[in-house]
């Protein structure tokens, strides 16, 4: 395997680690399966691409994060105020976002960023490691921020909400507000990943979000089974590790000659096997 292939895998693994960190908040901390992800990832791609075309690639990252927060907020409102079940709420937001994303992209299914200045441009002097260095910087900042946030009083309340909602309501914590904060941050991260992804790939595609929820989930499961820890910091690192390992596995599969169109099926099957094996093990223990 050439250096380019390995670096490519690491870079993509890093980008999807941003997404997985977001999913860690919604899926692991809040215990909410959030399907908004597929839509908010594309939203991030679209916002990131449009701002890059406009000449503000870094601004694009912030705007993407912010737009993702909005998408998460919409889902949270559907869940808490309108009492629509979480899975359906996510699907509804995701479906609605398809139109929003097309509007953002000016009714074009793809936007090319070829030869445009992106967030990676300033790091080209460090070729071939520039891209990876930038992604690592983002991950370090993100892990630091999330780890600090989850240790604040709000962070503690957020974790308790996913753990035992009855207890949270009986402790004068607004569980609905916690879900809103959590889903906003989660989708903000996902959209940020989308923006970095589109600038890394130098194009944005209206369908790039399909299956992102599964990719994030697979990363979390893989990571948590490699690095088992109760400490938040190590769990965050585990998620990143999982994302990189998972991307590595896919890269190997592609190198061996698997058609790239098989990737989504492979991801889905992997998640099924991972979840099923832990559940079956538990059932065996009970007998």
- Report the interface residues with other proteins, using CB under 8 A: 148-149, 151-157, 159-160, 163-164, 166-175, 230
Between 103 and 156, CB nearer to other proteins: 156
What does DSSP say about strands 203-205 and 110-112: parallel, antiparallel, or unpaired?
antiparallel
Between 4 and 172, CB nearer to other proteins: 172
CB 134 within 8 Å of CB 124: no
With left for phi above 0 and alpha for psi between -120 and 50, is residue 204 left, alpha or beta? beta
Task: Output the DSSP codes for 132-151.
Answer: HHHHHHHHHHHHHHHHHHTT
Q: How far is the CB of 161 from other proteins (least distance, A)?
A: 9
Q: How far is the CB of 169 from other proteins (least distance, A)?
A: 5
Q: How far is the CB of 157 from other proteins (least distance, A)?
A: 5
Q: Which residues pair with 265 in a beta bridge?
A: none
User: In residues, how long is the chain?
Assistant: 287
* Preceding amide of 129 cis, omega within 30: no
Between 98 and 234, CB nearer to other proteins: 234
Alpha carbons 279 and 217: distance in angstroms, whole number: 16
Q: With both helix axes pointing from N to C terminus, report the angle between 175-201 and 36-53 in degrees, rounded to the nearest 10.
A: 50
Q: How far is the CB of 230 from other proteins (least distance, A)?
A: 7
The owner of tokens 């559940």 is: 279
Between 104 and 220, CB nearer to other proteins: 220
Q: How far is the CB of 25 from other proteins (least distance, A)?
A: 15
Between 99 and 172, CB nearer to other proteins: 172
């Amino acid at each position: 395997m050439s250096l380019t292939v390995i670096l490519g895998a690491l870079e993509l693994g890093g980008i999807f680690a941003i997404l997985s960190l977001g999913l860690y908040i919604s899926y692991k901390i809040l215990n909410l399966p959030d399907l908004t992800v597929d839509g908010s990832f594309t939203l991030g791609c679209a916002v990131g691409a449009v701002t890059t075309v406009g000449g503000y690639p870094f601004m694009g990252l912030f705007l993407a994060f912010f737009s993702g927060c909005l998408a998460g907020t919409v889902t949270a409102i559907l869940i808490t105020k309108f009492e629509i079940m979480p899975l359906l709420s996510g699907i509804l937001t995701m479906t609605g976002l398809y139109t929003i994303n097309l509007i953002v992209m000016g009714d074009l299914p793809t936007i090319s960023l070829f030869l445009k200045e992106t967030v990676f441009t300033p790091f080209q002097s460090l070729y071939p490691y520039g891209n990876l260095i930038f992604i690592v910087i983002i991950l370090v900042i993100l892990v630091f921020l999330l780890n600090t946030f989850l240790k604040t009083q709000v962070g503690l309340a957020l974790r308790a909400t996913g753990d035992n909602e009855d207890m949270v309501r009986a402790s004068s914590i607004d569980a609905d507000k916690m879900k809103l904060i959590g889903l906003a941050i989660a989708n903000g991260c996902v959209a940020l990943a989308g923006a970095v992804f589109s600038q890394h790939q130098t194009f944005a595609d209206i369908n790039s979000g399909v299956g992102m929820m599964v990719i994030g989930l697979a990363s979390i499961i893989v990571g948590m089974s490699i690095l088992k820890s109760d400490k938040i910091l190590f769990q965050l690192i585990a998620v990143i590790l999982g994302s990189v390992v998972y991307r590595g596995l896919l890269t190997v599969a592609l190198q061996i000659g698997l058609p790239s169109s098989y990737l989504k099926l492979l991801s889905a099957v992997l998640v099924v096997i991972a979840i099923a094996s832990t559940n079956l093990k538990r059932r065996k223990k009970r007998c």
